[in-house]
Amino acid sequence: MNYVSPVLHETLLELGEPYGWRARIGLIVLSTDPVIERDFHKLTPDDSVAVFSTRIYLETPNTDRTFLALAEELEPAAGLIIPDSRLDAIVFGCTSASTLIGPDKIEALVGRGRPGVKVTNPATAVLAALKTFSARRIALVTPYTLSMTQNVMRFLADDGITFTSVRAAGYDTDHTIGSISADFFVEAAKASVLEGADAIFISCTGTKALNVIETIESATGLPVIVSNQAAFWHALTLTGWSAAVPGFGQLLREKW
């Protein structure tokens, strides 16, 4: 039987753009984090906004030393995020490590890997979010150990934030943090000292707190800020996005 070569046709297409034609957010995720990518994709309102992620290694359990070691990985990680396409902002996805490494150093290291792209992190984003509510006194809830919670407190206090109460669950791995029920954060927020508080902040990119922001806001009457919500919001603002993203609390529900 004789083989007959098919006739090949090449079609020239008029190309549009990949997903994220209005805003493209890069996300540097810890190797151990089981939550932040899910949350960022859940927060994405439609295909005009896109999230592109890469991961960096984190030794466990979480300590100051292991978080500080992440700084060495930021530059090469940033260079891996859709290097041949436009990128508008990059988020380093760890609240605790951001308080230890420092926002300025994070911005410099990520900028070396991806020059010209705006950079943020959850710690910086939370401060920006608190400012939108003129919130200077907060109730803090964390899934961390007391030591890691104190790192976050110091970072916030350096910006003039004070606390009506602080509640910590006591965990030191992302797997256990990601396994905490969302109901814990509802009950911890409601049990906090809320008199005199301007807002509630739930720290860590590895929690299920995104799911219950509006439940807590309804129960307490206070704006609720969580790490992933704040980081996504801040990245969007850096891209120039100004539309509301409903369903995830006052911060994203209102146009800004």
Alpha-carbon distance 79 to 214, whole Å? Answer: 36
pLDDT in tens, 57-115: 999 999 999 999 999 999 999 999 999 999 999 999 999 999 999 999 999 999 999 99
249 in a structural domain = no
The pLDDT of residue 12: 84
* Whole-number pLDDT of residue 201: 99
Q: Which helix (H) or strand (E) holds 16?
A: none
Print the domain residue range for 51: 23-121+230-243
Q: Which pTM value belongs to this model?
A: 0.94
Q: Is residue 140 part of a domain?
A: yes
Q: Is 135 found in the same domain as 117?
A: no
In a domain, 61, yes or no: yes
Residue 132 and residue 164 share a domain = yes
Q: Is residue 15 part of a domain?
A: no
**Same domain? 141 vs 109:** no
Which residue, among 181, 167, 252, has the nearest Cα to 214 in the 3D structure?
252
Residue 84's CATH number: 3.40.50.12500
170: left (phi over 0), alpha (psi -120 to 50) or beta: left
Q: What percent of the chain has pLDDT over 90?
A: 91
Contact status, residue 51 vs residue 82, Cβ threshold 8 Å = no
108 and 150 part of one domain: no
Residues 207 and 237 in one domain: no
pLDDT at residue 158 in the model: 98
**Does one domain contain both 133 and 221?**
yes
Number of structural domains the chain divides into: 2
The residue ranking higher by pLDDT, 255 or 80, is 80
Residues in the chain: 256
